[in-house]
Amino acid sequence: MVKYLEATSKMPLILSADDSDCLYWYADSAFAVHPNMRSHNGAGLTLGRGFAISISSGQKLNTGSSTHAELVCVSDILPMSQWVQLFVLSQGRPVTRNVIYQDNESAELLEVNGKRSSSKRTRHINICYFLVTDSIVKEECKVKWISRDYMFADYFTKAQQGSDFHVMRDFIMGVNPFEE
């Protein structure tokens, strides 16, 4: 650990916004990883390069499945997502989209379709987590599935090694490893 810290002590954090006027959130959870069997959330916001906001926190309730844990994760970061959108708008900058990426297709379907995607297997999910569905209907945010290969929030929820660690770290720090 000390060798890593010494080797990266001068590594910069580079933050910049692209011209898209979009907020891009990456949200992920690790299911039942704590001793009390609760899940862990990880999320980050980028405006184009580097994570301007990073979140890593334990969930406050036990969930019955990884889909439920992912839904709780997005529900937990939604207020921050909405606050950031309002903050950016109040600064006089437009926000054309507020996108939350996640890598669990079942959770995304529940968030987008609400009760229409619910079944016997998902009825244990408390209706309050359809707050995400309400926000999507009101066009306050958009939830999109993304491949696990591009789920940079994994950095905050799962142990990474080797090239996966370096790719995620560089993305979060806004560093292009090919730049001099």
C-beta of residue 155 within 8 angstroms of C-beta of residue 51: no
Return the pLDDT at 122. 65
Which CATH number describes the domain made up of 22-154+164-173?
Answer: 3.30.420.10
Return the pLDDT at 109. 86
Return the pLDDT at 180. 45
User: If the chain, 180 residues long, is cut into consecutive pieces of 10 residues, what is the mean pLDDT of each piece?
Assistant: 85 90 96 95 95 95 90 94 96 95 90 73 64 88 92 90 89 74
Return the pLDDT at 77. 95
| Global confidence as pTM | 0.84
Return the pLDDT at 123. 62
Q: Rounded distance, CA 171 to CA 102, Å?
A: 16
